[in-house]
Structure 1
Amino acid sequence: MTADQILVFAAGIVGGALRVGAPFLFVSLGECITEKAGRINLGLEGVLVLSAMAAFGGAYWSGSVWIGVLVAMGAGALLATLHGLLCSLPRVNDIATGIALMLLGTGLAFYFGKPLIQPQAPQLQPIELGAWITSPAVKAALQINPLVPLGLLLAGGLWWAFANTRAGLLVRMAGDSANATRALGYSVNGIRIAATAAGGMVAGLGGACLTLFYPGSWNEGISSGQGLIAVALVIFARWNPLRCVMAALLFGGAGAIGPALQSVGVGWGYHLFNIVPYVLTLAILVVSCRPGQLAAGSPGELSSR
């Protein structure tokens, strides 16, 4: 490749990491909140798909992209709250409930989203990181989602809150020792329901990224399993919100390899490179999860299951 092609390719990877990684960032942060409280929500794939549809529908019918973002957050919070309520019942398993709600969320999104497949909704206006660059290809690659800075601030805020606030301490305590939480007079179920709802609301922002920025339309295959991959990202990040940022950028960059190569005229293996995020997920799970060993940073209540 020439020097110009290398520059375009590098810009494509960086821009793609920010663009493609945005949904991963919000869903992994949402799952991080949930798991810190001692609950697993595999239904975040359904949350992501439902919130993506809700964001597009809200923006389309209201004419305001920011109303679409708020609707996405509300839809994510509602489905996650249902998960939290069901899991608080006796003898209800988190994993089985999460799978059921994943199917429910995707089913609702497919049903109510049928009229939204063809229309166009208002889109989030990008932040131009490469406004000073003369190359149109590089400039286009460095247009980022305006929700990404919010995600970075949210990650920093969660990291600080878990270590320095009463609410953060309660979430961590519920995740590490349910008995200790009850002994101090707090409701474990109440904390976990609130954390699950908050996680779903944050994950809803990931759905808004999909339909209101990139790829910027609604279709039934828009998620491609990103909600499930985010669960692996949280394990890889060791339940640390700041590491979730790095993990999301890593997966976003992996997902951007194919388009970046195509932008410099390399067409062979395009579809092969599209599977890189999924291969990376398997590799991370193999390396991170070993039988008989607890992952560093794992909440105690998750480890005991």
Structure 2
Amino acid sequence: MTADPWIALAAGIVGGALRVGVPFLFVSLGECLTEKSGRINLGLEGVLVLSAMASFGGAWLTGSAWLGVLIGAAAGALLALLHGLLCSLDGVNDVATGIALMLFGTGLAFYLGKPLIQPQAPQLPAIPLGDWSENPVVRSALQVNALVPLGIVLAIAMGWAFAHTRIGLLVRMAGDSANATRALGYSVAGLRIAATTAGGFIAGLGGASLTLFYPGSWNEGISSGQGLIAVALVIFARWSPLRCIGAALLFGGAGAIGPALQSIGVGWGYHLFNTVPYVLTLLILVLTCRPGSVAAGSPGELSSTR
């Protein structure tokens, strides 16, 4: 293999990390915010699929990709709001509710999205990071989603807000000690509903990136379980928004290995390489979720039986 194919391979993996990692970034940030308040939302897979469909449909109907992004994020927020409201009821389990809403969200998206399988919607603009190269493979691989800078800024803002703002401290307090939050006169249910809804809105941006940039179309297999993988990503990132950036890039790069090899003519093992993100998820869960132990950085309320 000559130098140029090696450069193309590296560019393909880096570009793929930036491209494939975008949904992982937004969904993990949304789940990070939700879990910081003391609630788990396994329904983010449904949020991701529903927002992907709503974004594509919104962009197709309005003729604007950015309006499609807002519509998709709003759809994600509404489904997450339903999760937050249901989980605030006495005796309702977060995990069971999340699974139910995951099925509801995906089923609703599949039903409403059937007319959208054939049409083409306006796409989000790309940021060309590969113009420095004359290699067309490199230039193509480094066409980056315009939502990437937004995701990075959002992660930095969330990390700062958790440490330095009143609302961020309240969210953390609700996640660490519900009793202390109530003792200070704040509504634990209200804080968790707000955090869950905002988390759904953020995750909805990841759904928009799926249908309005890469792969850039709507179909019923669009997500491939990325919403569920986000839960493992948050554990891997130790509930830190800034670490979510690195975790999303890692998983995005892992998912890009197969396509990057194909781009330089290596076709063997394509489907095997596509399993790498799922193998990483299993490894993270095995290494971090041990019986009788609590992962470092975990909000205190998540370790209780709910």
TM-score, structure 1 normalization: 1.00
Deviation at 1:125, TM superposition (A): 1.1
Taking the TM superposition and a 5 Å limit, the aligned residue runs for 1:1-305 are 1-305=1-305
Q: Percent identity?
A: 80
CA distance in 2, matches of 1:33, 1:216: 27
Residues 241-286 of structure 1 deviation map (CA, whole Å, 9 limit, x = unaligned): 0011100000000000000101111100011111110011001111
Q: Which amino acid aligns with 1:71?
A: I
Residues 116-160 of structure 1 deviation map (CA, whole Å, 9 limit, x = unaligned): 000000001100001121111100000000001000000000000
Name the SS for the 1:256 alignment partner. Answer: helix
Could you list the runs of 5+ residues in structure 2 that have no partner in the other structure?
A: none
Name the SS for the 1:144 alignment partner. Answer: strand
Q: Which amino acid aligns with 2:170?
A: L
CA distance in 2, matches of 1:211, 1:151: 17
CA distance in 1, matches of 2:248, 2:9: 19
Deviation at 1:54, TM superposition (A): 0.1
CA distance in 2, matches of 1:239, 1:303: 14
Name the SS for the 1:253 alignment partner. Answer: helix
Deviation at 1:81, TM superposition (A): 0.2
Residues 150-193 of structure 1 deviation map (CA, whole Å, 9 limit, x = unaligned): 00000000000000000000000000000000000000000000
Q: Which amino acid aligns with 1:231?
A: V
Q: Which amino acid aligns with 1:2?
A: T
CA distance in 1, matches of 2:49, 2:25: 15
Q: Which moved more, 1:286-295 or 1:10-19?
A: 286-295
CA distance in 1, matches of 2:136, 2:51: 33
Deviation at 1:84, TM superposition (A): 0.1
The Cα RMSD (Å) is 0.5
Q: Which amino acid aligns with 1:77?
A: A
Q: Which amino acid aligns with 2:23?
A: P
Deviation at 1:291, TM superposition (A): 1.1
Aligned length: 305
CA distance in 1, matches of 2:130, 2:233: 29
Name the SS for the 2:268 alignment partner. Answer: coil
CA distance in 1, matches of 2:236, 2:125: 32
Q: Which amino acid aligns with 1:263?
A: S
TM-score, structure 2 normalization: 0.99
CA distance in 1, matches of 2:54, 2:131: 32
CA distance in 2, matches of 1:132, 1:269: 31
Q: Which amino acid aligns with 2:22?
A: A
Name the SS for the 1:127 alignment partner. Answer: strand
Q: Which moved more, 1:206-215 or 1:287-296?
A: 287-296
CA distance in 2, matches of 1:288, 1:206: 25
Residues 207-244 of structure 1 deviation map (CA, whole Å, 9 limit, x = unaligned): 00000000000000000000000010000100000011
Deviation at 1:292, TM superposition (A): 1.1
Deviation at 1:290, TM superposition (A): 1.1
CA distance in 1, matches of 2:169, 2:296: 18
Could you list the runs of 5+ residues in structure 1 that have no partner in the other structure?
A: none
Residues 14-37 of structure 1 deviation map (CA, whole Å, 9 limit, x = unaligned): 000000000000000000000000
CA distance in 2, matches of 1:15, 1:33: 27
